[in-house]
Amino acid sequence: MSDGQTTFTKERQEVETVVIRFVGDSGDGMQLTGTQFTAASALAGNDIGTLPDFPAEIRAPAGTLAGVSGFQLNFSRSEIFTPGDHPDVLVAMNPAALKSNLEDLPTGGMLILDQEAFNEQNLKKAGYAANPLTDGSLDRYRVFAVDITRLTTLALKDSGLSNKQVLRCKNFFTLGLMAWLYHRPIEPILAFLAERFGKNAALLDANTRAFKAGLFFGETSDLFTMQYEVPPATIAPGTYRNVTGNSALCIGLIAAAERAGLPLFLGSYPITPASDILHDLSGHKEHDVVTFQAEDEIAGVGAALGAAFGGALAVTTTSGPGIDLKSETIGLAVKTELPLIICDIQRGGPSTGLPTKTEQADLLAALYGRHGEAPAVVLAACSPADCFGTAIEAARIAIKYMTPVYLLSDGYLANGAEPWLLPKIDDLPDFRVEFRTDPSGYYPYLRDAETLSRPWVVPGTPGLEHRIGGLESEYLTGNISYAPANHEQMVRLRAKKIAGIAREIPPTKIIGAESGKVLVVGWGSTYGSITAAVRSLHRDGLSVSQVHLRHLNPLPPDLGDVLRRFEHVLVPEMNMGHLSRVLRAEYLIDAIGFNKIQGRPFKVEEIVTRVKKLVEEEA
Amino acid sequence: MSDGQTTFTKERQEVETVVIRFVGDSGDGMQLTGTQFTAASALAGNDIGTLPDFPAEIRAPAGTLAGVSGFQLNFSRSEIFTPGDHPDVLVAMNPAALKSNLEDLPTGGMLILDQEAFNEQNLKKAGYAANPLTDGSLDRYRVFAVDITRLTTLALKDSGLSNKQVLRCKNFFTLGLMAWLYHRPIEPILAFLAERFGKNAALLDANTRAFKAGLFFGETSDLFTMQYEVPPATIAPGTYRNVTGNSALCIGLIAAAERAGLPLFLGSYPITPASDILHDLSGHKEHDVVTFQAEDEIAGVGAALGAAFGGALAVTTTSGPGIDLKSETIGLAVKTELPLIICDIQRGGPSTGLPTKTEQADLLAALYGRHGEAPAVVLAACSPADCFGTAIEAARIAIKYMTPVYLLSDGYLANGAEPWLLPKIDDLPDFRVEFRTDPSGYYPYLRDAETLSRPWVVPGTPGLEHRIGGLESEYLTGNISYAPANHEQMVRLRAKKIAGIAREIPPTKIIGAESGKVLVVGWGSTYGSITAAVRSLHRDGLSVSQVHLRHLNPLPPDLGDVLRRFEHVLVPEMNMGHLSRVLRAEYLIDAIGFNKIQGRPFKVEEIVTRVKKLVEEEA
Amino acid sequence: MSIANLKEPGKLTKKDFESDQEVRWCPGCGDYAILAQVQRVLPDLGIPRENYVFVSGIGCSSRFPYYVNTYGFHTLHGRAPAIATGLKLTRPELSVWIVTGDGDALSIGGNHLIHILRRNLDVNILLFNNRIYGLTKGQYSPTSEPGKVTKSTPDGSVDNPFKPLVLALGAEATFLARTIDVEARHLQDVVRRAHAHRGASFVEILQNCNIFNDGAFNDVTDRDIKAEHQLVLEEGKPMIFGKERDKGIRMNGMRPEVVQLDSTNESEILVHDSKNPVLAYLLGHMTPPEFPTPIGVIYDVDRPVYEEGVQQQMRRAREKRGGNLDGLLKRGDVWTVS
Amino acid sequence: MSIANLKEPGKLTKKDFESDQEVRWCPGCGDYAILAQVQRVLPDLGIPRENYVFVSGIGCSSRFPYYVNTYGFHTLHGRAPAIATGLKLTRPELSVWIVTGDGDALSIGGNHLIHILRRNLDVNILLFNNRIYGLTKGQYSPTSEPGKVTKSTPDGSVDNPFKPLVLALGAEATFLARTIDVEARHLQDVVRRAHAHRGASFVEILQNCNIFNDGAFNDVTDRDIKAEHQLVLEEGKPMIFGKERDKGIRMNGMRPEVVQLDSTNESEILVHDSKNPVLAYLLGHMTPPEFPTPIGVIYDVDRPVYEEGVQQQMRRAREKRGGNLDGLLKRGDVWTVS
Ligand SMILES: Cc1ncc(C[n+]2csc(CCOP(=O)(O)OP(=O)(O)O)c2C)c(N)n1
Ligand SMILES: Cc1ncc(C[n+]2csc(CCOP(=O)(O)OP(=O)(O)O)c2C)c(N)n1
Ligand code: SF4
Ligand code: SF4
Ligand SMILES: [Mg+2]
Ligand SMILES: [Mg+2]
């Protein structure tokens, strides 16, 4: 440890990239262990990618398979894009955790176990007939059975804490051990402890002692013969923090509201995995944020629309089932041309589906899920940090074009985290809103010549009193009109306004050659896996290019040209082929779907294999 | 009049096809006039097509443009498919009615007006600066200014009715006059009057007298020099009745329930133009029909789903806004695999839109408007009478495949009427349901090897107690499962089940050559206009073929082959291109959209012109 | 869009609240009278015209905003309370009015209605109760009487109706009133009181739909008999009614009853107290033919107003935590790579 | 799927109502106790097991049907009453139970709840009120107390909560009761009474969510103090409570109050009468700390049952009009072409 107080003496081996998965009972604090290890790794200068995996039940009975909670972390000296396909190291706090995760550990992988947890009771709960520690079934792995429970208890024997409290410190013992093993900086962890338990000296002391006990156990025990080290990555200079997708989204929305000079209004109803946005924004009232937990999703989006009418940057957040319910109101926003951001943090469907799992199967619903001709803008974020930029882009478009904008994220982005190079506030686009106040020549549906947008006039503006609503409006005046030609004109105008946004979309960025055999096209959270796969394919000397879309409606104006420059277009999606369907209809290109619907992100190697197969078939 | 009591003496000219449009104030009884003229024409053996046009307001102030109500009727000696593009005869009861309809009357068209209604007050309400009867502006037409008000009043001067009641009889005077002019059988009209006013002798007498006065006025007045006659069409033998789309739909649903041996359950919430289905079915409790007017659309479809779980043939009816609201529950029906029919009587959108106008813009919402992967069957009726057969097909598929089925109709079909060759009950498909009662080997998600359908077990069946829900289920057992591979298997299974229905779709019927230059592909209510246009193009010697789809998901298995046999595929739709988008994505065929979004059906000549243009561009 | 006369609130007149749109209800509809009375009251409330917003759902009644020359939003069936909530939370200084029908508010919109009442946003809710669905041409509504024959209930309705005021009371409403379309003065007074109340004011307006439910309220609107059927509530006054003011309401145990007044029982007659929830409950339940129909302000109590609580939290957060974007970005652990 | 033992209703035991699914609530959750008591009551009601259907929405509580070995439908958040309505209308002979939470029933499902109550379908509604959203991990619900700090209200809630029983009463409920997860015997009794009631029975069950809202009902569950805080209602009995049964409820004008019992006031103590709506209103309003929490059957009156009205109309229509498909096809004017 370069600048630590402790000097370690064992041999230290450099490694490029490590994937660790921490698994344990929901009560074992694995999420905390994982995030602290992550924070330390980020500060150590590694590039990182993380994936928490929550159990579907709130608190399944301790020790059962249903109660297993996990956190996977990928840290590396080179640029990485995913939390890793397979763990190199599996840290399992009990038999259930081992059982439900072992299949992901490759032969020869490192397995760190809490020996004492493999008692009869726990083995039974996990459905083990024999103890895997002794029946030889783990022979393929490098097993380190550490007596975590006993050692933690020993370390805290005079702490004055209850037995239960003592056992709660096991995760910090484990963290200490792992910090030693991978030679992580310990200051940030100690600082975290001080902040977290600052008010409770006994707990601060106990957790610190447990942590250090783990650290020293690594150093002194014969079990481990060497330390590993992942040197810092070469990373763009700047200030970084670790951020989850939901958190980046919140900051993006607050920043967007500030850039627009508007209050931020969130109308929402809790639903996994979107709820954290409501929680997070509720804690930011100091930024002129109003959060409203409505009685249901319809009221959530309704309140947001009312706030938009009142002049706020209006947002509603939800997941799949809520998107269905909000569609009627979003149609009204389309018709009345009010700005509105609809964040859909997608999860496994259909219906209630798999609430804690990820999926990308709401794209077609976002595009087409409203009766009548109700075109809306659809954007998708591609990584946790990208949720920030996508939120700003969503707000910018919503306001400039007076339109609802869907922002698609998913469970994987929402809960996953990555280091984020903090933007400079002055570099953010400035889209300060000037509400119209001038009555001369005003009509509610007057149109800006370029954007075709109507003026935003808020109640309280003298002389501009007007009425809007869901019935078809007369061109310009906005009065109710059932005239056939007017309806056609208005339908086409609304479509044209949205289509016209394409003009602002920057040229499509192609990673790899500008033309060739295979183009992999993605959107949303598959970005990491696809990027890593394409890099890997490049390393293997294959000519594969990559395009990742943020703008899904309208599509980039040059996209058709780009697609046509490749012999094959492969579209990996965590659905049955939404984007590929859109590309086929739009460009008459035989886009090939590569579909995985398992509530889990693609593994890098899955994409690599699929692309190789495509190239081989070709040959 | 062949067998009437009255002999008419004026010259009589045979004509092929006549289109009459009756227009007047909402209070003038134009719908009644139109339907009675229609019934008489049907009994006269003509082929007919009708289109009522209701004002958007309930009762706009009398005499205003907003209050105009219309009814157009096309009757012919040859087969016809639409209510006609333009009226040959416009019967206008007041200036507002004239003003809002005159532009549709071709030069030389016949104009029959109630002279007395063109008074100063009415002219002002209609926004006429000068009286069109006298200012020469009607010179292009054959104008017959009849003093309908005065003549009716005269005819009823001793009737003892109030002035208001007398004026209400004007429409029967008009009907009498028109019946004379087109030599319609008068018995059915007299029979109708007897039934309608049977209990009120004074009204019966008055309306009969008014009707006859109109009849005799035609015969005796110098105004009209000849009668017209439209000889009977050669029509397939059988028993006919005149039927609107909504009415045919109701009968179809009742018949389907009877063929299935199930009670019929309708859960609905009123909305134009679907409400009449609720009204109609509410009057048929004797057929084991339960209708439930729910508190909203969500409860309507929810109750229907509950009824399906209980073993009814479950239906929910609505229009656009309701489709949005129902989508979450339809997703649950997809997931739990329960039979459910969702009738969407489409109207102009987006949002509240144009509630009394027609449109076809809900197709994509029916296909894709649910979060997650939630495939459902989508069918569309193509004519008022076809709503019957489509309802039966919807029920058959829903039950056989345990799936929600959308049945798309629209305002044009719902309110339009046509003669319907009554089917023989024994010819209807028999799909009597046998609920599973055998416990041995039962699993809730056991699958039929051919249909992939799960067994329908209703509560109350001993030994088969089970639970279903919206969370992902384990293959076979139906227990909650979050297992990745199981999810993928189930998603693909649900998709495969729906896709497999294609195997039952009969070979695509091509009207015209089996291959060639132009294929016109349609769905839904454009059938009439397209068919008439294609016939007309055939008469002009053009090689154009036609395909009209009832099954929109899954599509007919041979459709791709059919489409590829034509150089151009033209898709006329009353939307911005829903089906053409689907065909493009599905078959990578450059389907050309021909889109009209005016809340009105296509005119035959619009399609003729478009096809000709396509052929010319080609040349 | 008129480049409207920008008058001081005090100088506004009814005309200033008439929009340029032709009013399109059926001739004879009770909605006309309500519109006229509201347009008469608005100029007097001391609020600049541009600060009024009328939000409605869908229904004949919900066309109301088009005819009032203020800001207006004709939203979706049942959703006006939700949309008004977002508006009011964003712009608490606006005077927000919700116009709704018995179907709009009590059928599809029931949930939003009960929630806006319990939250007690400072809005005024005018429910036009014609006991029918007007716009969709005559289906029964949640206030239609049992047995009602309508298009969707040809054999008569089997639904038990809501009593709107009782439902609202159950939902924790802080202001309840009832008035009648044709009682011009009374309607104006009630609307004024509703506006004066801080919190959600719920006003049921009995409204005649002369096309689909004509005469539904004849007993309280017919000149000849209405005195026998209206119980006009006045704060602190005994509940006496009848042409001869010869009848009153008194308690018999825990149930109210109608009595013929005489010297012996005058003191037993209930005295109206709009702060008493039990009285509100009893009044909300009084229906013909057993009881006269109470009109006037039935209940009027104070409770914290939702948007004020929200505003207060925002003020406090600003004081306590500031609101600096840079700080927000750098929240938590940050590290610098150079 | 067990090829279950097809027993006579009279021979059923609790075990017959336990499904093969592992119960997955948090250890210590109040839902376990409710499940056990309901499973104990079901065998006694004389209904064949296959005729029970449990319909639920979404929430921890709504997982209930999976654990009861009868027919069950775990539907959508808030929609159980709607789905149960269609089921009951189709199959009136089934015994339909709705299991729901405070969020499911009173937030997203508020509208369906009030409508099923007003229609008075013969179903039993068990509302597990833990005053929190459990399944989504701890946001405040429409029954959370004002000022409540939760994930979505870090500065405390500014919402005024519903009183579920009062809301249900406002919605014309015919049966209201309250019980407590840990009061095994009482819970069983209340569930039995709910089942016995013809019409919609609304039962609020106070339920501890030990993870997100632990101890919300400590005052009525804590052995040491509960006697002082529970008002156990018994038909025809005076409302007396307290460890020493030394306190009672009496009316003071139109408001109830707690009094220390003595010989002078014993006769003034309110006597419970579940037919009295005003009493129900007062009891629904009694909340701590001013009052003890009433438990037991609060209200129980007769009103026509919705599905019976529907069935009757169908019977009459069949008698009057027959039901012949051919006649239906040929309704109206027909003509024959030969
Ligand atoms: C989502 C949705 N469902 C249904 C409708 C159709 N609809 C419009 S108004 C209305 C009922 C109107 O009744 P009420 O609220 O009593 O208003 P009234 O017309 O009587 O004033 C209905 C069912 C709609 N516009 N939107
Ligand atoms: C349409 C929809 N919105 C939101 C959710 C998320 N959700 C599930 S349960 C729940 C609230 C549960 O609270 P409650 O009804 O009180 O049940 P509890 O878990 O406390 O028993 C929410 C918001 C959902 N599943 N579906
Ligand atoms: S239908 Fe009834 S409520 Fe609607 S405008 Fe006409 S009279 Fe008024
Ligand atoms: S979260 Fe609360 S209500 Fe849900 S299972 Fe756990 S303890 Fe019970
Ligand atoms: Mg109404
Ligand atoms: Mg709860």
pLDDT tens-digit map of B533-574: 999 999 999 999 999 999 999 999 999 999 999 999 999 999
Ligand 2 close to Cβ of residue D60 (< 6 A): yes
Q: Please report, for chain C, the start and end positions of each structural domain, with discontinuous segments joined by +.
A: 3-216+304-311
Decide if C128 contacts C205 (C-beta within 8 A). yes
Q: What is the three-class DSSP state of C100? A: strand
**What are the phi and psi torsion angles at D327 (to 5°)?**
-60, -40
Q: Chain A window 305-364: which residues touch B at a Cβ cutoff of 8 Å?
A: 319-321, 323-325, 327-328, 331-332, 334-336, 344, 346, 348-357, 359, 361-362, 364
Q: Which of B229, B262, B294 lies at the terminal end of a domain, its last residue?
A: B229
Do A491 and A522 belong to one domain?
A: no
For the beta sheet containing A417-421, the strands, ordered from the edge strand earlier in sequence to the opposite edge, are A417-421, A238-244, C334-337
pLDDT at B156: 94
What phi and psi, each to the nearest 5 degrees, are found at residue B551? -95, 115
Q: For residue A2, name the pLDDT band (cuts at 50, 70, 90).
A: very low
Share of chain A above pLDDT 70, in %: 99
Tens of pLDDT, residue by residue, chain C (338 residues): 344 456 777 799 999 999 999 898 999 999 999 999 999 999 999 999 999 999 999 999 999 999 999 999 999 999 999 999 999 999 999 999 999 999 999 999 999 999 999 999 999 999 999 999 999 999 999 999 999 999 999 999 999 999 999 999 999 999 999 999 999 999 999 999 999 999 999 999 999 999 999 999 999 999 999 999 999 999 999 999 999 999 999 999 889 999 999 988 889 999 999 999 999 999 999 999 999 999 999 999 999 999 999 999 999 999 998 878 999 998 877 888 87
B244 sits in which H/E element: strand B238-244
B584 located within any domain: yes
Enumerate residues 6+ apart whose C-beta is below 8 A from C158: C146, D304, D306, D309, D310, D313
Q: Pick the residue of D60, D116, D118, D335 with the most B CBs within 10 A to test the interface with B by mutation.
A: D335
Reported as half-sphere exposure (CB side, CA atoms, 13 A), residue A462 has a value of 7
**CA-to-CA distance for B341 and B330, rounded, in angstroms?**
10
How many domains in chain B? 4
Q: Is residue A234 part of a domain?
A: no
Amino acid at B315: V
For B89-108, how does the pLDDT look when each residue is reduced to its tens digit (9 = 90+)?
Answer: 999 999 999 999 999 999 99
β strands within A33-95, DSSP E: 47-53, 68-76, 89-92
* Residue whose structure tokens are 């600066």: B129
Q: What residue type is assigned to position B282 of the chain? A: S
Q: Are D56 and D207 in contact (CB under 8 A)?
A: no
Neighbours of chain C (3+ CB pairs under 8 A): A, B, D
Whether the pLDDT of residue B3 is over 50: the answer is no
Q: CA B444, CA B596: separation in Å to the nearest integer?
A: 47
User: How far A58 CA lies from chain D's nearest CA (Å)?
Assistant: 7
For D60, D168, D214, the CA distances from D203, given in Å and listed in that order, are: 17, 10, 21
The two counts, helices (H) then strands (E), for chain A are 20, 22
For residue B104, tell me if it sits in a domain.
yes
Q: Within this chain, do residues B336 and B406 fall inside the same structural domain, yes or no?
A: yes
Give the E-state strand segments of A99-255 in sequence order. 110-114, 142-146, 226-229, 238-244
Q: Which chains are adjacent to chain A, needing at least 3 Cβ pairs under 8 Å?
A: B, C, D
Contact call for residues B37 and B31 (beta carbons, < 8 A) = no
- Among protein residues, the one with the nearest Cα to ligand 3's atom 5 is C25
Q: Most B CBs within 10 Å: which of A327, A329, A371, A468, as the mutation test of the B interface?
A: A371
* pLDDT surpassing 70 at residue A5: no
- Residue B252 phi, psi dihedral angles, 5° rounding: -60, -45
Distance CA C213, CA B178 (A): 35
CB atoms within 5 A of ion ligand 6 belong to D 101-102, 130
Would you say residue B6 has pLDDT above 60? no
Largest CA distance in chain D: 96
Lowest-confidence pick of A216-230, A574-588, C76-90? A216-230
Q: Are residues B479 and B534 in the same domain?
A: no
Counting DSSP H helices and E strands in chain D, the numbers are: 11, 12
Q: Are residues A42 and A170 in the same domain?
A: yes
SS3 content of chain B, % helix, strand, coil (to 5): 40, 20, 40
Contact (CB, 8 A) for B42 and B25: no
CB contact under 8 A, C153 and B295: no
Whether D43 is in the pocket of ligand 2, judged by its Cβ within 6 Å, is no
Section A20-24 average pLDDT: 96
Half-sphere exposure of B273 (CA within 13 A, CB side): 32
Q: pLDDT class for B301, splitting at 50, 70, 90? A: very high
C-alpha distances (whole Å) from D142 to each of A575, B424, C99, D102 are 36, 57, 25, 7
Q: Are residues B460 and B384 in the same domain?
A: no
D275 contact partners, CB below 8 Å, separation of at least 6: D299, D300, D301
Boundary-marking domain end, from B453, B472, B504:
B504
CB pairs under 8 A between C and D: 105
Residues B549 and A442: their CA atoms lie apart, in Å, by 47
Cross-chain residue pair D278–C277, CB shorter than 8 Å = no
Phi then psi dihedrals of residue D321, to 5 deg:
-115, 0
pLDDT at B405 over 90: yes
Q: Which residue of D has its CA nearest to C147?
A: D309
The nearest alpha carbon in chain C to A292 belongs to C86
Measure the CA–CA gap between C163 and C204, rounded to whole angstroms: 10
CA–CA distance from A240 to each of A237, A284, A525 (Å)? 9, 21, 21
Task: Quick: pLDDT tens for A242-292.
Answer: 899 999 999 999 999 999 999 999 999 999 999 999 999 999 999 999 999
The 10 Å Cβ neighbour count of residue D320 is: 10
Strands B404-410 and B417-421: unpaired
* Pairing label, strands B377-380, B551-553: antiparallel
Q: Is the pTM of this model over 0.90?
A: yes
Sign of the alpha-carbon dihedral angle for B86, B88, B91, B95: positive
Instruction: Give residue B46's pLDDT.
Output: 92
pLDDT at A557 over 80: yes
Candidate from A350, A373, A581 with C-beta closest to B370: A350
DSSP H helices, A337-452, are: 363-368, 386-401, 411-415
Q: What is the DSSP string of C106-125?
A: IIITHHHHHHHHHHT-S-EE
* Boundaries of domain holding B494: 436-504
Query: Residue B1 — pLDDT band, cuts 50, 70, 90?
Result: very low
Query: Mutate which of C2, C90, C108 to disrupt the A interface (most A C-beta within 10 Å)?
Result: C90
For the domain spanning D3-216+304-311, the CATH number is 3.40.50.970
Residue of chain D with shortest Cα separation from A299: D108
Confidence of residue D10 (pLDDT cuts 50, 70, 90): confident
- For B438-464, what is each residue's pLDDT tens digit? 999 999 999 999 999 999 999 999 999
- For the ranges A414-428, B68-82, B493-507, the one whose mean pLDDT is highest: B493-507
Is B562:B386 a contact under the CB 8 Å cutoff? no
Site of tokens 């197709």? B363
Q: How confident is the model over D236-289, as pLDDT tens digits? A: 999 999 999 999 999 998 899 999 999 888 899 999 999 999 999 999 999 999
Residues A536 and A562 in one domain: yes
To the nearest whole angstrom, how far is the Cα of A307 from the nearest Cα of chain C? 4
Assigned token pair, B481: 């499962």
Q: pLDDT, tens digit, for every residue of B35-68?
A: 999 989 988 889 999 888 887 777 778 889 988 9
Mean pLDDT within D179-184: 98
Please indicate whether residue C77, judged by its CB atom, sits closer than 6 Å to ligand 1: yes
Q: Do C3 and A294 touch (CB under 8 A)?
A: no
Q: Tell me how far the alpha carbon of residue C123 is from its chain's centroid.
A: 9
Nearest to C108 among B60, B269, B291 (CB): B269
Query: Domain with B163 in it: what CATH number?
Result: 3.40.920.10
Which positions in chain B have a beta carbon within 8 angstroms of at least one beta carbon in chain C? 57-62, 64, 66, 269-272, 275, 278-279, 282-283, 285, 291, 293, 295-297, 321, 351-352
Same domain, A403 and A480: no
pLDDT in tens, A188-222: 899 999 988 988 999 999 999 999 999 999 999 88
Does residue A563 carry a pLDDT above 90? Answer: yes
For A194-198, B275-279, B406-410, D16-20, which range has the lowest pLDDT when averaged over its residues? A194-198
| Predicted local distance difference test score (pLDDT) of residue B413 | 97
Contact by Cβ (8 Å): A310, A461: no
Q: Answer yes or no: is A463 within a domain.
A: yes
CA distances from B337 to B334, B355, C184 (A): 5, 32, 56
* pLDDT confidence bin for B293, thresholds 50/70/90: very high
Q: What is the ipTM, given to two decimal places? A: 0.96
**Residue B518 or residue B236, greater confidence:** B518
Judge if A31 and A88 occupy the same domain: yes
What is the identity of the amino acid at B181? L
pLDDT (average), residues A438-467:
97
The residue in chain D having the minimum alpha-carbon distance to the alpha carbon of residue B438 is D3
Length of chain B (residues):
619
Report H helices in A227-342.
Answer: 245-260, 275-282, 297-310, 320-336
d(C-alpha B223, C-alpha C285), whole Å = 66
Judge whether D8 is closer than 8 Å to chain B, CB to CB.
no
Least CB–CB distance from D83: residue in B265, B305, B328: B305
Mean pLDDT along residues A161-165:
91
Q: Which residues line ligand 3 (CB under 6 A)?
A: B 58-59; C 25-26, 29, 31, 60, 130, 134, 209-212
Closest CA to A418 of A527, A538, A270, A271: A527
Residue type for C128, please?
F
Q: Do residues A104 and A164 both lie within one domain? A: yes
